[in-house]
């Protein structure tokens, strides 16, 4: 039996997918979580075989949860997203994610990916992979992307600094570098550019 943790902040999608996966004879849904923090805590407590994580959740996003889970326990992670942007795929794969697919896939396809990943394989949606190969790379460093990610909901410099364990002055320096590289005037404009291009 493959033990699966399911995390999605949209209750209807979460409960529908959970119900469909429970119809599979070899899959057991052991937890349903509504946000990234809840998913991380449940994954560390239950150590499921596979975490199926929505990319865009309150708090930590699916890739951040996957990164922390795979560093701590043997659980494998699959990220699902409505907007399968190439830059997000690269970030997911570098964080140790074993599977990546769009939410447009049916429950039978999701179940097949869960089985493949649970058996030690990997899966990346072919269309997303093709887009990723042709997409432009981000001019921002990993740390600059971390700063944008940590401040994407309008967090203050101090909040970003605490979250990333940096000095506020260091955060300001990163923001200045980001604005210069992207040719924009505000941090929120930089976030929009990075989101549109799939870098965060």
Q: Are residues 10 and 94 in the same domain?
A: yes
Residue 200: the pLDDT is 79
Q: Are residues 89 and 113 in the same domain?
A: yes
Single pTM value for the model: 0.70
Neighbours of 93 (CB within 10 A): 17
**Number of structural domains found in the chain:** 2
Q: Are residues 130 and 151 in the same domain?
A: no
Looking at 116, 134, 152, the residue that finishes a domain is 134
CATH of the domain at 190: 1.10.10.10
Residues 6+ apart with CB under 8 A from 46: 3, 5, 30, 31
Q: Are residues 152 and 80 in the same domain?
A: no
Residue 155: the pLDDT is 92
198 has pLDDT over 90: no
Q: Are residues 50 and 122 in the same domain?
A: yes
CATH of the domain at 86: 3.40.50.2300
Exposed e or buried b per residue across 7-29, where buried means at least 16 C-beta atoms within 10 angstroms of its C-beta: bbbeeeebeebbebbeebeebeb
Q: Are residues 130 and 188 in the same domain?
A: no
Q: Are residues 42 and 87 in the same domain?
A: yes
Q: Are residues 184 and 95 in the same domain?
A: no
CA–CA dist 103, 79 (Å, integer): 9
CA–CA dist 135, 127 (Å, integer): 12
Average pLDDT on 153-175 reads 93
The range of the structural domain enclosing residue 40 comes to: 2-134
pLDDT for 113-135, tens place per residue?
999 999 999 999 887 777 666 56
How many angstroms separate the Cα of 197 from the Cα of each of 29, 84, 87, 95, 156? 34, 11, 7, 19, 24
Residue 21: the pLDDT is 95
Percentage, residues of the chain above pLDDT 90: 70
Looking at 134, 153, 181, the residue that finishes a domain is 134
pLDDT for 13-25, tens place per residue?
999 999 999 999 9
Average pLDDT on 132-157 reads 85
Q: Are residues 83 and 154 in the same domain?
A: no
65 has pLDDT over 80: yes
Neighbours of 56 (CB within 10 A): 15
Average pLDDT on 27-32 reads 97
Residue 84: the pLDDT is 66
Residue 70: the pLDDT is 95
Average pLDDT on 174-185 reads 93
């Amino acid at each position: 039996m493959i033990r699966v943790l399911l995390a999605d902040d949209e209750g209807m999608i979460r409960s529908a997918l959970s119900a469909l996966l429970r119809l599979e004879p070899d899959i057991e849904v052991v937890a349903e979580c509504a946000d990234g923090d809840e998913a991380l805590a449940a994954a560390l407590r239950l150590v499921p075989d596979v975490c199926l994580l929505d990319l865009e959740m309150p708090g930590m996003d699916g890739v951040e949860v996957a990164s922390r889970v795979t560093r701590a326990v043997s659980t494998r992670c699959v990220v699902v997203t409505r907007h399968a942007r190439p830059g997000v795929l690269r970030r997911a794969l570098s964080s140790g994610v074993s599977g990546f697919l769009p939410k447009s896939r049916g429950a039978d396809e999701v179940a097949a990916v869960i089985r493949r990943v649970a058996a030690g394989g990997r899966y990346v949606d072919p269309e997303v992979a093709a887009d990723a190969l042709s997409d432009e790379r981000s001019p921002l460093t990993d740390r600059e992307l971390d700063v944008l990610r940590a401040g994407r909901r309008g967090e203050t410099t101090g909040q970003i600094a605490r979250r990333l364990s940096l000095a506020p002055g260091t955060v300001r320096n990163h923001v200045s570098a980001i604005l210069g590289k992207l040719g924009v005037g505000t941090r929120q404009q930089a976030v929009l550019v990075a989101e549109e291009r799939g870098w965060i």
